[in-house]
Structure 1
Amino acid sequence: MFQTLKKEWFSNVRADILSGIVVALALIPEALAFSIIAGVDPMVALYASFCIAVIISIAGGRPAMISAATGSMALVMVPLVHDYGLQYLLAATILTGILQFIFGLLNINQLMRFIPNAVMIGFVNSLAILIFMAQIPYFWNISSTAYIFVIVTLAIIYILPKFFRGIPAPLIAIIILTFVTIKFNLIMPTVGDLGQISKSLPTFLIPDIPFNFNTLSIIFPYSLALSIVGLMETLLTASIVDDMTETNSDKQRECCGQGIANIINGFLGGMGGCAMIGQSVINIKSGGRGRLSTFVAGMFLMFLIMVLGDLVIKIPMPVLAGIMIMVSVGTFEWSSFSYLKKLPKAMPLLCCLL
């Protein structure tokens, strides 16, 4: 038991801490964007990212995988928030966690083995494409400086590690280009343009809703959808991280852990969340391998909000866009083009129609 804890938490301390810092910086604009999608205050998404990351680092079954507020779950929440408001969303988040925990106990993760390889490849490639497309508004048709920042960011990420690996290249890119932006007062989109960040800690609360069957009938369909979407994305992301690190993970524990994280998260005022493939890839590419990297990502996120909030909002978005482009390129399964040649001729057309 002690050896397992030591291996999962303290076998890669320096790299885990640095990679966690990189992930935390990347989580902020993502969380702000997801809060806009869901129609909630930015802090609801930031609290969720902090709570879920910290809790899943302890309760989850896949070390080094990042879980936080996600776009896929935010899309499911939109009608609920629009029709009933934040308090019902928090209740739905708690119920989502309960359902996920039950699904974990029922070993629903075993269904993963029935998912065809083609579906896995399609999932990975579609996420890579969506990640790339989501970055375009942050540098396209803005200014020549924005293009330069993206190019410089990618150059740092791909070239610097050949000569220096002491600090993750994405972190160096963020620090240098943020300094340049502030020093020369460059005008371009920043993290602060996405939403207002208030320096406050999450507090325990019970959703202010009627506790009756009518309320349950309202939130249950959303919670069921959220629990299924969250577990699907989590289990597929866990399989991807397993392949990247050539290690195995406890999928049943991960399902239960996601449930625990969302239950606590709902009582702390956060929206539902699950594993994030983009941030998980950033973590792995930056050297993260243990639970400490996920824990640091959550804790440093709150540190950024509480202490360095005024500085964080000045981080230029083209730099973070460059980092996420790196993620999309690394995530895309380029071998899938050769895989298509092995499929029956009707299959590629069918996949496009679907």
Structure 2
Amino acid sequence: MPAAESASRLAAFRPKLLDTLPGYGRAHFARDVGAGLTVGVVALPLAMAFAIASGLKPEAGLFTAIIAGFLISALGGSRVQIGGPAGAFIVIVYGILERYGLANLIIATAMSGVLLFLMGLFRLGTLIRFIPIAVVIGFTNGIAVLIMLSQVRDFLGLELASVPASFFAMLSALGGALHTVNLAALALSVGTLALLVAWQHAMPRLGPQKLQFSGKLTLIPGTIVALGLATGASELLALPVETIGSRFGGIAASLPAFVWPEFSWSTVRFLLMPALTLALLGAIESLLCARIADGLTEDRHDPNQELMAQGLANFVTPFFGGMPATGTIARTVTNAKSGAVSPVAGMVHALTLLAVVLVAAPLARHIPLAALAAILVYVAWNMGEWREFVQLRQYRMPYRITLLAVFGLTVIVDLTVAVEVGLIAACLTFIYRISSLTRAEAVSAQDQPVLASQDGQVRAWRLYGALFFGAVKLVEDMEHQLPARALVLDLKNLIYVDSSGADTLLDLARHCQKRGVRLILCGLAHQPLDIARRSGLLAALPAADVCPDLAGGLAAATLAVP
């Protein structure tokens, strides 16, 4: 029986794909193929750009989008979510590479996959929603700033061998290389960025009367248009700019091969925190993305199944040359708006990228890195919630401090430290808020006339809120102002009592017994009654001193007064 109960607490492994197959027809397949092809085109430049920004070869991003994208769609808990490399991972992956090397990045990514799978298996998917929005916005905006800073070298065409991961070292290196600005690279990146902004903002405003095919043009991804024009301009004008071919030697037109990294068990323990950071960030990103997808499709995702799929994808992908993967908001929104109805669209997107790698990989060597840098700057800007900084005055001081602290620590120190500090700050704020809502009110003689005849020998209190470790001082203070004969506590309005609260009530009972004061508890019900029973509080009091309501408690208290 215990084994059966334990098994029932585990999440069932049931991909959303199985729920979409009944009634799935030719029309649905046509819509999924169209959406998958569109998303594949959108994902192509982003996958390469994210890999390059992370310090990896461009094919690492493509292999991740192919393998992880296929697995996340086929096994995930959302109908239209698209998985793959994400901008949020750039800073973490770059830091792991610089500190631990490629082999340990593979191990850390695989470890994060195991953690993600276990989180889903043990039904922790819903707990991710309890992470405060201030923490999420703080590190999202911080990551966006770091992504933009990491692209300054290629955006300006600086002659710099590598960009350090730490903030101040990065600023020092970039500042020292500003005299090497490549004007051709700068012009190309500015032109690419301007085209992306114009495509996003100006194109939808052009009506049919101004541009006959404006409706169809808006369906073409701006990143592909900008990348194609930038590559064409670079080749036709023979611009002296770095390309994928000049830095990486191009992209291999072949399937990824299995790679077993060389590592020692002594280094695995140092990878626990990086792996945990990858897992938490991947879980947050994927579940936030899935919630956005739910709003676009009027569907409901399974968070635990989604985490298990993310875990399997992140465990498999790094051994085939990939990088960490998660749900991607931009590609998921594109998928939903392109008419996707099932996870088949995400699988088609992965197959589309596979076809591009096998057929058109040689063309990628001509793509200028300045154009990819401009695309990443554009993505990072759209990724940030910049309006939150303008609207900070509308929020309370704890919210402002948490958001700004997480943002500053993400940029200056480290994402892991930022999330840890943010969660601690949010927890302390929550504890303070809940403790301030817990209060004790003295029952007056006007409210209960029976108290008027006791001449102060009986005192009664009503407790409200939650009696937990942050609010036990309310009960501790009562020990210093005990009445002569009886103390009555009305606990009807307590919604929660933790073990610290129960221990404090027990201490109060012992203190009352030493002073010869009768302690009477009233209105215990639900969770407070359960913990009072389990903690031994009820056993420590006579049955006559546990009453169903305040009136009964006061009536019992009068018997203690001669």
Q: Please, what TM-score do these two structures have when normalized by structure 1? A: 0.77
> Is 1:226 equivalent to 2:278 in the alignment?
yes
Match of 2:104 among 82, 88, 94: 88
- Give 1:297 deviation, angstroms: 1.7
> What RMSD in Å do the two structures reach over aligned CA positions?
4.2
2:339 is paired with a residue of what secondary structure?
Answer: coil
Match of 1:299 among 333, 351, 366: 351
Question: 1:282·1:327 contact (CA, 8 Å) conserved in 2?
Answer: no
Q: 1:328 to 1:16 in 2, by over 3 A?
A: farther
How far, CA to CA, are the matches of 1:100 and 1:38 in structure 2? 21
How far, CA to CA, are the matches of 1:180 and 1:206 in structure 2? 38
Please list every run of 5 or more consecutive structure 1 residues that lacks an aligned counterpart in the other structure.
Answer: none
- Name the structure 2 match of 1:27: 43
- Give 1:242 deviation, angstroms: 1.8
- Give 1:94 deviation, angstroms: 1.9
Higher normalized helix content (fraction of residues): 1
Q: 1:23 to 1:75 in 2, by over 3 A?
A: same
Question: 1:146·1:318 contact (CA, 8 Å) conserved in 2?
Answer: yes
2:254 is paired with a residue of what secondary structure?
Answer: coil
> Is 1:197 equivalent to 2:248 in the alignment?
no
- Name the structure 1 match of 2:21: 5
How far, CA to CA, are the matches of 1:205 and 1:172 in structure 2? 35
- Name the structure 2 match of 1:47: 63
How far, CA to CA, are the matches of 2:372 and 2:24 in structure 1? 31
Q: More displaced, 117-126 or 93-102?
A: 117-126
> Is 1:36 equivalent to 2:52 in the alignment?
yes
Matches within 5 A, 1:1-354: 4-6=20-22, 12-116=28-132, 141-142=186-187, 146=192, 149-150=195-196, 153-154=199-200, 157-158=203-204, 169-171=219-221, 174=224, 178=228, 182=232, 185=236, 192=244, 195=248, 196-210=250-264, 213-312=265-364, 343-344=395-396, 347-348=399-400, 351-352=403-404, 354=406
How far, CA to CA, are the matches of 2:149 and 2:306 in structure 1? 29
How far, CA to CA, are the matches of 2:36 and 2:220 in structure 1? 12
Question: 1:95·1:263 contact (CA, 8 Å) conserved in 2?
Answer: yes
Q: More displaced, 157-166 or 242-251?
A: 157-166
How far, CA to CA, are the matches of 1:138 and 1:22 in structure 2? 27
Question: 1:51·1:298 contact (CA, 8 Å) conserved in 2?
Answer: yes
The letter of the residue matching 1:33 is A
The letter of the residue matching 1:205 is V
How far, CA to CA, are the matches of 2:389 and 2:55 in structure 1? 38
How far, CA to CA, are the matches of 1:352 and 1:33 in structure 2? 28
Question: 2:40·2:349 contact (CA, 8 Å) conserved in 1?
Answer: yes
The letter of the residue matching 1:5 is L
How far, CA to CA, are the matches of 2:83 and 2:52 in structure 1? 19
How far, CA to CA, are the matches of 1:278 and 1:132 in structure 2? 17
2:301 is paired with a residue of what secondary structure?
Answer: coil
Q: More displaced, 111-120 or 124-133?
A: 124-133
The letter of the residue matching 1:209 is F
- Give 1:336 deviation, angstroms: 6.7
Question: 2:82·2:346 contact (CA, 8 Å) conserved in 1?
Answer: yes
Cα distance per residue 1:201-251 (max 9 Å; x no partner): 1122333334xx414323333222211121121112212222233321011
Q: More displaced, 340-349 or 197-206?
A: 340-349
Q: Please, what TM-score do these two structures have when normalized by structure 2? A: 0.51
More RCO (CA 8 Å, sep 6+)? 1
Q: 1:53 to 1:236 in 2, by over 3 A?
A: same
- Give 1:60 deviation, angstroms: 0.8
Q: 1:51 to 1:153 in 2, by over 3 A?
A: same
Question: 2:106·2:319 contact (CA, 8 Å) conserved in 1?
Answer: yes
Q: Which has the larger radius of gyration?
A: 2
Q: 1:148 to 1:260 in 2, by over 3 A?
A: closer
Higher normalized strand content (fraction of residues): 2
Q: 1:273 to 1:180 in 2, by over 3 A?
A: closer
- Give 1:295 deviation, angstroms: 1.1
Question: 2:73·2:347 contact (CA, 8 Å) conserved in 1?
Answer: yes
- Paired residues in the alignment total 351
Question: 2:117·2:307 contact (CA, 8 Å) conserved in 1?
Answer: yes
The letter of the residue matching 1:92 is A
Question: 1:190·1:313 contact (CA, 8 Å) conserved in 2?
Answer: no
Q: More displaced, 251-260 or 195-204?
A: 195-204
